[in-house]
Amino acid sequence: MTRIAKLRSLPIRRLYLKIRKKKNEKNRISLSLAFNFPLSLTTEKETIDLIRRILLEMEDALTSYTAIRQISQFVGAVLFFHVSEYLLAIYFHGRSNVSCSSLLISKHYVIALAFALIEYIVEITLIPQWKENWFLSNCGLVMILVGEVIRKVAIVTAGRAFTHMIRIYYEEHHELITHGIYSIMRHPSYCGFFIWAIGTQVMFRNPISLIAFVLVLWRFFFRRIPYPMST
């Protein structure tokens, strides 16, 4: 490169570095405003103070009325759903014929719940006012209750014909249920679970998890429903 070319590229490089510096400064200011932290973190002590402040902000958020109520509702809904599913399976099929699979807890399901909780903690720490829209949160709670009722009515109506595992062969007690709630919808248990699961994220006001739950559950039931229809 000639001397003239170097001189021409120098102002461009200075401009690039200036823009990059401003961008980094803007990111630091955004983080500072979110947590009300100082802009400069030049020492180890300041870094430790920053971490301490983040933890304090998180502790304040998670001990607020909003967090305690919403997390309690979520944990209560999950516990009741799975324990009641297990107990109903024992009631209709007998303890010896029921395994832990009737709890309907899988690795992917646990990951989904963990992701939803992490999203909730991050959002209530950064933007607590977003979680305080009680109208939408209560709508989610109503969806949880409605979905729970629909699913449990479906299980009780089907009785011994209802199983948590897809059966690809005929058993003596199997029959096509067409009365009760099954006269209104073909798959009320799936419908109930779908409404229940989506309701947990509406109650939490988790936008990311809400979209993910809708897409994943829709795909899951779209692939699962044809099996019992074809056997």
pLDDT tens for 56-65 read: 888 888 999 9
CA distance 158 to 136: 33
* Burial track 192-228 (b if 16+ CB lie within 10 A, e otherwise): bbbbbbbbbbbbbbbeebbebbeeebeeeeeeeeeee
Domain count for the chain: 1
Q: What is the model's pLDDT at position 11? A: 62
Q: What is the model's pTM?
A: 0.73
Under the banding of pLDDT at 50, 70 and 90, the label for residue 231 is very low
Angle formed by the axes of helices 65-93 and 134-158, to 10°? 0
pLDDT tens track for 7-53: 445 566 565 566 666 555 555 544 555 555 554 545 777 788 888 88
Note whether residue 95 is domain-resident: yes
- Side chain identity, residue 216: V
Q: Is 11 within the bounds of a domain?
A: no
Note whether residue 17 is domain-resident. no
What's the gap between Cα 197 and its chain centre?
8
Neighbours of 147 (CB within 10 A): 22
The reply to whether 141 falls in a domain is: yes
Could you tell me if residue 145 is inside a domain?
A: yes
Position 38 in a domain = no
The enclosing domain of 162 has a CATH number of 1.20.120
Q: Is residue 201 part of a domain?
A: yes
Rounded CA-CA distance 38/32 in Å is 6
Structure tokens at 44: 């180890």
- 83 belongs to a structural domain: yes
Domain that holds residue 159: 58-230
